[in-house]
Structure 1
C-alpha cells in the first residue's frame, strides 16, 4: 500500500474519529469512503486493520 493511500486513511480516521477496526469496517461498507481512499474492490481487497 502506498503512502498516499495510508495518509488518506489516516485523515479519514481523524476526521470521523474512527478506530482501526471501525475504519476497516467503514471502508468495507462505504463506497464513498473507498472512493476517497482510492480502493477499487474489483481489483483489490480493503486493507486489514492491522496495516493501519
Structure 2
C-alpha cells in the first residue's frame, strides 16, 4: 500500500468560500465551518479520483 502525505494551504474567506489552490479545489458553505467541512470532503474526493487515475 502506497501512502502519500500532503501539506496543503487552505483558505476560508469571509464570504463563506473555501479553497485549496495547491490542488485547485474549492467549495462554499455558510457558516465558514460548513465551507471548511465541504472543502475537506472535496479534497477527499480529489484524492480518490487521483488514486483511480494513478496520479
TM-score scaled to structure 1, two decimals? 0.31
Rg (Cα) greater in structure: 2
More strand by share: 2
- Higher relative contact order (CA closer than 8 Å, sequence separation 6+): 1
